[in-house]
Amino acid sequence: MKRPTLKDIAKEVGVSVATVSYVLNGNTKQSISEETRDKIIQAANRLNYVPNLAARSLVKRKSGLVGVLIVKQKQNKMPIFTNHNYRLLEKIEEYLATKGYHVLSSNINLDEPNLDIIKQRDLDGVLIFNVDNKIFYDISIKFTVPILLIDAYLDDILFHKIIVDYLSYARKLNVDKKYIVLIPKLNNEHLMEKIKQDSNENEEVYFIDSIENLKRVLSKHPNEKIVVVSEELGSVVSRYIDKNRISVICINNEEYLLDEEVQRIKVDIEEKAKLISDLLLRYIDKDYKYVQYTVIEAE
């Protein structure tokens, strides 16, 4: 079967080949409407168009490849943030595709970390999700391209970190003065410590990694309101306490898991993916104003 070309996409949409090229290569300097961009991307997907990355890299001096590393959560019976990372990865892949980039993802096993496959590829940038600081340094020394660290706290000016201020979302919910915050356990101990340090006298933060752990916390606090991070954990908590005591910070666009009466607030996963992707692209293009942290807060 003949491999589809830019000309095929242009004919399908009714635009010039140049316009298709601008869109699929992520050229934002050309004045092309969002409607036309969407039509081109949809046509490219429909025709199963695959760009010639080798040829494009010769022209742009870039490979058009971004690496994403996800660390498996060790000794965690409720790896909810790993599930979140995969959903976030999907959104990042979708967004970077509109900018002409492909994503290579790899799961990192902490017991036997193997980066050989992804190291062999000529990457333009790397995203590392929810990793402990020591493991991050072990990984980062193997790359010479821009690296962004997601959902981790690292006091190192060489690396840009993107984190979510979950406590700002909890406060936005306007629950009782005294409440409990339940967050799925993270791989990054420093971020968990940072969240606890940022909590005020009305908030008590717990990181949950098992049903047993969850039950202990709930039995310790039989009356307080509970703010839960993630729809998945929220649906589990609702099995054990009155739903009127629960508020959920939604992070996966999975609100269907929650009963209607459960109060909620949303961290938009698509906006998070766009923010992360745009930051990485600016680093790749050397068009950035450096800061150590980008914090996603409740508006």
Q: What is the CATH number of domain 6-50?
A: 1.10.260.40
State the number of CA atoms in the 13 A half-sphere of 237 facing the CB: 34
pLDDT in tens, 103-143: 988 887 766 666 665 666 788 999 999 888 888 888 888 88
User: CA 229 to CA 81: how far, in whole Å?
Assistant: 10
Following DSSP, what letter does each residue of 172-211 receive, concatenated? HTT--SSEEEEEEPPS-HHHHHHHHHH--TTEEEEEE-SH
pLDDT of amino acid 285: 87
Q: What is the CATH number of domain 65-164+270-296?
A: 3.40.50.2300
Report the candidate in 139, 66, 137 with the shortest Cα–Cα distance to residue 105. Answer: 66
Retrieve residue 167's tokens: 């406590």
As beta bridge partners, residue 226 has 180, 246
Domain segments of the chain as ranges: 6-50, 65-164+270-296, 166-267
| In contact, 194 and 244? CB cutoff 8 Å | no
Say what percent of the chain tops pLDDT 90: 54
Q: Are 6-50 and 166-267 in the same CATH fold?
A: no
pLDDT level of residue 150 (50, 70, 90 thresholds): very high
pLDDT of amino acid 100: 87
pLDDT of amino acid 58: 40
pLDDT in tens, 55-93: 444 445 578 899 999 887 666 788 899 889 999 999 999
Q: What is the CATH number of domain 166-267?
A: 3.40.50
| In contact, 194 and 60? CB cutoff 8 Å | no
pLDDT of amino acid 72: 73
Q: Which residues contact 102 (CB under 8 A, 6 or more apart)?
A: 53, 64, 65, 66, 96
